[in-house]
Structures are given as structure tokens and as C-alpha cells.
Structure 1
């Protein structure tokens, strides 16, 4: 995952490069939603075009195949994609220039909070959504001016070759170097994840980790002191941990779920452990003043339909929030994604608003956590 995106906020998007490589590995997918005029329904039918931001490369290529082309076939609206690693700088520039050239864009929660305050997004028209989408997408994912596009996880992944009999079951085992020996890895750039993993290893329950108090930070860093000598490399780029597992340079590590999923689908003997995984997410937004806003709202409604949500998940490896998509996904894929009921119950979701709040010293809670982390890493 890219450290350039969210130096301040736990819930961040996976880097474009990470997404592209993961989605490139998800080949030979068996399902493509059947797009027909009836599937589009009369209220989504239209004409003209919609301009949608994406990340380029294989990510966009798969969106064209699994989402954009079916949308055009069902509604008659053509999709033109524009690419950027991050949408936020482009959106700010358009806003300042008074000319909005895009219609829909992915934004991070941090970017959303800032740009929405500036009035840059249109309300999502949920009246266009079908019943299966409204029931399948949780209310927490349906914001007034955005909807969750996909979520990503950081979780424990281990090499089954290193533990042929029984592998680690969670972060307690990650800290147990005697029973589960071998080189270890953790994400080194941002500290919140490692702190959460350390607190779980120290007995803190998942429900108490949406925020990190000063006492919890102290406790986490003390626990991390125990494992620090056994971390052979603090990885920084999303592709590193999986490649190091493949090369036998790690036996177990934290890693992005999409990267692990892509490797597993290629036959790599890795195991994903969902207990204590941290969840981040990205949003779909419709830009106020865009040239085709009406079509963009129809596009958002379409992509959140259960069958299309399943197609999106298969196309990029990171699931959207519609739980009704599970019945359209291959059975062997469901246990490997974060929205399955068994996995979701084991994950940690952060209080994004709290992380963006400012403390008495003027720094955000996220800034404070990161400063404590960097001080610990360098001592």
C-alpha cells in the first residue's frame, strides 16, 4: 500500500500500483454480469456519456470489461475513463478553475472530508437504486455525498510451506516466536496498523480499537518492543510482503488482502488470517458541476447492484460493500474477501472522524499517532 496517500489516516486506499498488479493477477474470472436493457431498467436508461476517474492499467481494463461495458450495454450511456493516481489534486484544480471536466471519481475518506466541506460533490440519488442494492449496502456505506466503492484490508498472511502442520491463527501467534519461528515483516511507514496488531496480541479486544488512546499507544509500543528484533524487514510497498513470502524471506507478515488474494489465485501456498485485520475504504463521488452528472448518478446506482458489485470485486480483487453480491460470487472466492460474514466479524474498523479530529495542540489524532510511531522506529 502506498504511504503517499494517507500519512494521516488509517483508512486509506491501496496504491494504484498495488491495485494494478493485484487485478492483473485475477485472470480467467468466470463471472460477468449479464447486461441487458431490462437489467438496466427504465430509470437508468439514457444517452450520451459519463466521464469516470480510475487508476489506469489493469485496474481500468478490468473495470471496462466487468463494469463499464455492461453499464453501456444496459443503459445506452457510454463510459469514458480518465486516469490519475490520486483524484484529489485534480478535483481541487478543477474546482479552483471553475471548470469540472469529470463526472465521477474515487476519493479517499480523508480527501472526501476536505472536498465535501468545500461543496464539491453532489448528493447520491438513492432513488435510482434497486431494492437489492439498498438492502445489501449498509447505511454506514451510504453517505449523503458519497458511497463506499471498495474496501481493503491489512491482515496476517503466512507461507504454508513454513508451517506445514498448523500455522498461526492470529496476532498472538505472530508474537509467539518460539512456536512459530521464522522471519517476520510488518508495514513500517504508518504506525497505526502495527499498534493495533500489537494490542490484539496483548489481549485487547477488537471492539476497543476503533480509536487509540495515549495509554493504548504506550501499551502497543511496549508490546512492539518484544517483536522488533524479529522483524527482518519493515516493508513499504504493497507488493513487498507477498514477494518476500514467495522468496522464503518471510515466514509470516502483515500484507494487503488484494495482493494475497491474487497470489493465492495463482497457486501460491499462502494463507490469509482474518482475525484482527484492519479495514480501510475508498469512496465513489459524483462531482458537482460535471458535464454529465445525471448519467454519473445512474452509473453509481448501476455499479452498486448486487450482480455488478460481484463483477467489480472479481475484476479488481477488492470488494464493494453490497453484501448481496456474495450470492453471485464463486464459492471459492467468498472465504478470501473481507465482506464475508466470518471474516468481517474478525476485523477492526477505525473511527475515521476521530482520527481527523484535532487535539488541544492543533495536531490531528492521526498526526499524534504517527509522531509516536516514528519516534519509536528511530530509537
Structure 2
């Protein structure tokens, strides 16, 4: 089977049939009391939101135990791969795997194929949130934010971030993991199509685009907490940032606004480790996570948009303009295609090294 066919096998929409109604009741009628599943989580606000919106109420309702372990994304991929290879499975699942990591996990046989019939709530999700080897849990966007203060020009699109005539202190990521997203945004803003990017990401051209505004980059973030704090403290005027952190910052400092025009979006997926003995516990937990009210609570705590469109109905009005799943945001965002995600994965090391060397210059 080719990498392309492995990368993404979308599940079709399924109607709410009698069989699905039965499956829904079966998910929660199964006796899970005393059972435990160990799940990786990236830490920080994400883990707190996962605990409060999903884990604690699920444990109270079912009697099952969800034990979260924390590590960075790269550490988690390495650990899960080692566990699958040795067949010493210590983690049953990974709670939030960014789409660019999925090709490696699938091709290396690290994660299981999802049994859609065991998760009725999948029928509520958009097609892009349903992956043959994972369930979309958050819709992630990398885009531009700006401070609505005196003498700060509002950015009308991500393209404005690379316009040297728009003056202002800028922030962007310095870590290797930021490279593929930063270059994709820069090249799309410079007129490169997604189809052309899928054939290869031109590192030299990317860096030349950043050269235009590098003298205005006054801060670099290496993690999500730093990203949000730069905005909260008004240390910069503009940030090439992730939408969840922009929302967190705006909740603490209302001067910050988000601009989705020209941004890129992709899902993060809940995946099952190959060889897990607790797939039934994970199925029940994932089904629990897909409830729109619980997803709304998760979004309120972490900022990132949850994939169930019905969750919007349970969110406060002041938060809705920041959500990436609204029709208005979806109309101006670029979705990363399977081919482009695969190319980003192929060039991950090359891009990361070039980016870090560039930032250090």
C-alpha cells in the first residue's frame, strides 16, 4: 500500500440508524468500572482542559480510570514508536497528534485503524475530522494575530505579516517544529499554490520571504505558553501564532484580535496505540469527547475549536468570532491537503534544521 493511501482513509458519513442507536447505548452500558486506559497528553492548558471537560466526568459516569502521561509531541511519537516495535505497550492512546505526524505513525505501524462502528458520534463530524487511524479532536489553525492598540495597523490577511511596509514588532516560532507551518504560510502568501507546495517546499524561497520582515521580529516563542504570554503582556504587535493561544491571550487581554484570512488549518487526532488491550475503553472515552456540550466546555478552557459543529451553540457569543469552525472562518482558511501533509513530513528534518539555523543568524 502506498504512503498516500495509508495517510488518510476518510470514513463516509453514516446516518443515525437503529444500529447506531444501539451502538450509542452499548458504549455506555458496557461495564467499564475498574478499567484503566493510559493516554499521552502534551501538557499545559490542553491537559487541564482534557481533565476538566472529559476525563473527570467520564470517570465519574463510568467508573473507569483515564491516566494521563505528559511529554512533548516529538517525545511522544518516539516513545509510542518504540512501544509498538517492542510490543511493550504502555500507552493505550495519544490524545492529540497533529496531522503532519500521522503519515509516520501510520506507515510505521504505530497506531491502530479506527473502528467507526464503535464510535457513533463520528457521524456528527465534518469529513476532514475523520481519519482512518484517528478521530479529530481539535481543529488547529496557524495564522496571524494583531494588537488593536494605537499606531498598530490591523492585518487584513497573513500576507500582511510579510509586508515590510506594515511596521510593528513581530513574534514567531523559533523551534524546528514551526518550520513547516511558517514556510507554508510564507509561500502561500507569496502566491505558491497548495498543489505546488505538495511537490516540494522551497526552503530558500521561504527564508527570502522572511528576510523581508526579519528586522521587525523582536521575539521568538518556543512553546505555546510563551506564545500566549507575548501577546498577554503586549510585548509585540503581531504574532504568527496558533489560534488556540491567540484565544487564550485574548481572554486575558481583549486588545488581541485574530485574522483567519490566509491562515492554514489541520486537525489533531486522537489515536490508539497498536496492540492496546483497552480499545473498548478508548472507544467509550472518544464517544464521550464527541458530545457537543463537552466539546464546548473544552473549547472554553483551551481555546482551540472542537470539531463537532453543534458545539458552537453552547459557547458564549464573545468567543464565537475566534472559532475556526464557523462558516466565516472556513471561507478564508486553507486546509492542508493529504499530499502537502505528506511532503511536510518528508521534509521535516530538512526544514527544521534550515529554520533553526536561519533564526540563529
TM-score (norm 2): 0.77
**8 Å CA contact retained: 2:142, 2:240:** yes
| Superposition deviation, residue 300 in structure 1 | 1.7
User: 2:133 matched to 1:145?
Assistant: yes
Structural RMSD (CA)? 3.3
| Change in CA separation of 1:122 and 1:181 when aligned onto 2, cut-off 3 Å | closer
1:191-202 → structure 2 map (5 Å cutoff): 191-202=179-190
Instruction: Count the aligned residue pairs.
Output: 331
Q: SS at the partner of 1:284?
A: strand
Quick check: 1:153–1:257 contact (8 Å CA) kept in 2? yes
**Residues 1:307 and 1:41: Cα distance change in structure 2 (over 3 Å):** farther
Structure-1 separation of matches of 2:336 and 2:319: 25
Pairing 1:173–2:160 present: yes
Residues 61-102 of structure 1: CA distance to partner in whole angstroms, max 9, x if unpaired?
Answer: 43232112332444x241221312143333234334433243
**Do the aligned partners of residues 100 and 279 (structure 1) sit closer, same or farther apart at CA in structure 2, a change above 3 Å counting?**
same
Given that 1:50 and 1:77 are in contact with CA atoms closer than 8 Å, whether structure 2 keeps it comes out as no
- TM superposition shift of 1:136: 2.9
> Cα deviation per residue 1:212-249 (whole Å; 9 max; x = unaligned)?
646x6555444333222222334433333443344443
**Residue 209 (structure 1) shift:** 7.0
- Indicate whether 1:117 and 2:104 are aligned: no
- Tell me, what secondary structure is at the counterpart of 2:131? coil
| SS of 1:334 mapped into structure 2 | helix
Whose helix proportion is higher, 1 or 2? 2
1: distance between equivalents of 2:356 and 2:253? 37
Inter-partner Cα distance in structure 1 for 2:228 and 2:150: 14
Equivalent residues in 2 for 1:54-203, closer than 5 Å? 54-56=41-43, 58-74=45-61, 76-86=62-72, 87-106=76-95, 107-130=97-120, 133-163=121-151, 167-178=154-165, 180-189=166-175, 190-203=178-191
Question: Residues 230-282 of structure 1, C-alpha deviation per residue, up to 9 Å, x if partnerless?
Answer: 22334433333443344443221212222221121124411111112222432
**How many angstroms does 1:352 deviate by?**
4.8
- Separation in 2 of the partners of 1:96 and 1:274? 40
Q: Which residue of 2 aligns with 1:307?
A: 293
1:330 equivalenced with 2:308 (yes/no): no
Counterpart contact for 2:170–2:218, Cα < 8 Å: yes
TM-score normalised by structure 1 residue count:
0.73
Cα distance in structure 2, aligned partners of 1:89 and 1:365: 18
Work out the CA distance in 2 between the residues paired with 1:376 and 1:212. Answer: 23
**Aligned pair partner of 1:318 in 299, 304, 317:** 304
Q: Is residue 41 of structure 1 aligned with residue 60 of structure 2?
A: no
1:284 deviation in Å?
0.8
